[in-house]
Structure 1
Amino acid sequence: MTAYFPLPYVVFGVTGRTGAAAADALLRAGQAVCVVVRDPAQGQPWAERGAEVAVADLTDLASMTKAFSQVQGAYVVSPQQYTREDLFEIADVIADTTARAAVAANVPRLVALSSVGADRDSGTGWIGMNRSFEQRLGATGIPTTFLRAAYFMENWMPMVGHAMRSGTLPTFLAPAQRAIPMVATVDVGSAAAALLQEERTGTSIVTLSGPKDYAPNNVAAVISAALRKPVDVAVLPEAEWPNALADAHFSKAALAGFTEMTRSLNDSHIDIKSDPNAVEWAGTTTLEQVFHRLTLT
């Protein structure tokens, strides 16, 4: 009798949070998984859990096509290179290579990480890279779900450390009392895994937020409760953003992209409900759970 080995789901981005969460969710569901890494050493922990490991460069068509071959579906991401002046151009190369490789390998379906605001054709800064990713993959004809995530809860982590030390939570989001959708990256990965396992035809869009919206004031209250000491909010004026981000080592182009994106978040140009074609999903992980897991244990 011939043994049957199911084709794997291939997962990119496992060195980041959403890819790792997607691969973890698939493995926990008993699915065959192939993780894609640039350095074989990065795949070792996944190999120990029973995953296959493929090595590929996101800008190399041959290695990408090989990674996509003989799979049930793929979770794809376009990591953004914030230290480079040509980060938008590199994102275009990654989008093009991913699309061409997926076609060449005849991938049956894709789930692609995107962002709320990708439906807007301008004024979104960094999110323009997600829009390009969507457009290039959408042109392939491969059934694709674009998973447009809300503001990552983990984006707060650098500011949380400051709040723990000083009692003040700096924020780029304004006004401090306005709540916006946020999502934990573990929920993004779980949603990606669930979408990969669905039988879908055609292209679809899913927006993903958390179980509730949060304002900077809410974030400060969560930290205050955990630390058992007062935490105040300090909204940073735009003129102070470059200094506040100095440790991130953004290129000039990346800083300009961040600035435009954040302005659009603050004036609601970026809005999770702006695309009538999107289906709304909600994760289950709260901001309290994210902070407890990452900083307060």
Structure 2
Amino acid sequence: MLTILVTGATGNVGQEVIRLLLNQNCQVRAAVRNPDTATEILSVHPTAGFSDHSIDRVPFNFTNPATFATAFQGVDKLFLVRPPNLANVRKQIAPALEAAKRAGVKQVVFLSILGADRNPILPHSKIESYINRLGIPATFLRASFFMQNLNTTHKEEIKTRGELVLPAGHGRTSFIDVRDIAAVAVRTLMEDGHSHKAYTLTGGEALTYYEVADIFTAVLGKPIHYTNLSVWNFIKQMRDRGLPMDFITVMVGIYTTARLGLASHVTPDVEQLLARPPLTVRQYVEDYRQFWL
């Protein structure tokens, strides 16, 4: 039986990957900073709860090499998510990848980002390159903007002010639901034939944030407006909310990509891999509507 280690296990994608893996013939191991806290988070997954006894939770910290040996012991495959606060790939990510190779991990499925193959400055691009240099068979999932960012990072502004505040201009974004990303991830982990491949994961449509706000308005039954901020005003608002500058910089990069029209690309990869159309923004808002009411 395969043993699969999932990093980012308490995040949006990681939780969904674990939920789907529990229905597969494999041993699921969640790599978490604090197993006690993780137990509470994983047990209240918004889609479905987890059995306390079905997941092996192991302490793991990318910046603490003392946690590597136990986490990787006996692991066949690794689902890799870069922690948003770690940008120095050589110092903060590479040692864990080297430990994975020493432990005999046979495949890495890495949650990368749309455009990582074209922008070597992105940390995701550097991680892809490092995995290739190590020679570990890998699958890169280059995902577009997560719909679920709208019920996490932007939840309060939508819920309390009826406003979506972003510096994305009139650009279109091919939003993807993390449930689709997770379904693709599980398929590439459980099936043969996906090593040494990269998939560009998008939704089936590219929308402006004005159109997204209209969908929210229709589904929630209350007016939601898109406020198209300048980059500098957006940075100021995020700093006023107490968000760290590293995180804000990544957000600005994502929304600038949208504003310039570089996030509108729609691919058939999700539909081809899952044999069904990607979930739509409207379906996402309907399924998650309790977050904004």
What's the TM-score, normalizing by structure 1? 0.82
Residue 230 in structure 1 maps to residue 230 in structure 2: no
Paired residue type of 1:48: D
Query: 2:236 maps to what in 1?
Result: 243
Structure-to-structure mapping, 1:187-198, within 5 angstroms: 187-198=180-191
- Bigger relative contact order, structure 1 or 2 (CA pairs below 8 A, ≥6 apart): 1
- The aligned amino acid for 2:61 is D
Per-residue CA shift, 1:22-65, capped at 9, x if unaligned?
A: 11111023432111112121453466141222222212334223
Contact 2:108 2:136 (8 Å CA) reproduced:
yes
1:207 touches 1:272 (CA, 8 Å); kept in 2? Answer: no
Separation (CA, whole Å) in 1 of partners of 2:247 and 2:30: 28
CA contact (8 A) 1:164 1:227 kept: no
Are 2:70 and 1:66 equivalent residues in the alignment? yes
Q: Which is further off, 166-175 or 93-102?
A: 166-175
Secondary structure of 2:61's counterpart equals coil
SS at 1:142's partner residue? coil
In 1, the alpha carbon distance for the partners of 2:106 and 2:71 equals: 14
SS across alignment from 1:137: helix
Shift in alpha-carbon separation, 1:97–1:30, aligned structure 2, 3 A: same
1:217-296 pair list within 5 angstroms: 217-269=210-262, 272=265, 280-282=269-271, 284-296=278-290
Number of matched pairs? 276
Please give the secondary structure, in 1, of the residue aligned with 2:2.
Answer: coil
Distance in 1, Cα, partners of 2:269 & 2:111: 15
- When normalised by structure 2's length, the TM-score is 0.83
Give the unaligned 5+ runs of structure 1: 1-5, 82-86
Residue 145 (str. 1) matches residue 139 (str. 2)? yes
Give the root-mean-square deviation of aligned CA atoms: 2.6
1:24-43 matches, within 5 Å, as 24-43=19-38
1:7 and 2:2 matched: yes
Runs of 5+ consecutive residues of structure 2 not aligned to the other structure? 44-49, 272-276
Would you say the 8 A contact 2:203–2:280 is kept in 1?
Answer: yes
Q: CA deviation at 1:202?
A: 4.6
- Please tell me whether the aligned partners of residues 210 and 285 of structure 1 are also in contact (alpha carbons under 8 angstroms): yes
Counterpart contact for 2:76–2:104, Cα < 8 Å? no
SS for the counterpart of 1:53 is strand
Distance 1:248 1:111, change over 3 A: farther
CA distance in 2 between partners of 1:165 and 1:55 (Å): 36
Q: Show the counterpart of 1:113.
A: 111
Whether the 8 Å CA contact 2:201–2:270 is kept in 1: the answer is yes
* 2:16 is the counterpart of 1:21: yes
**1:136-195 deviation digits (Å, cap 9, x = unpaired):** 1121111100111100112223445434444443232121xx432111122222211111
CA contact (8 A) 1:22 1:193 kept: yes
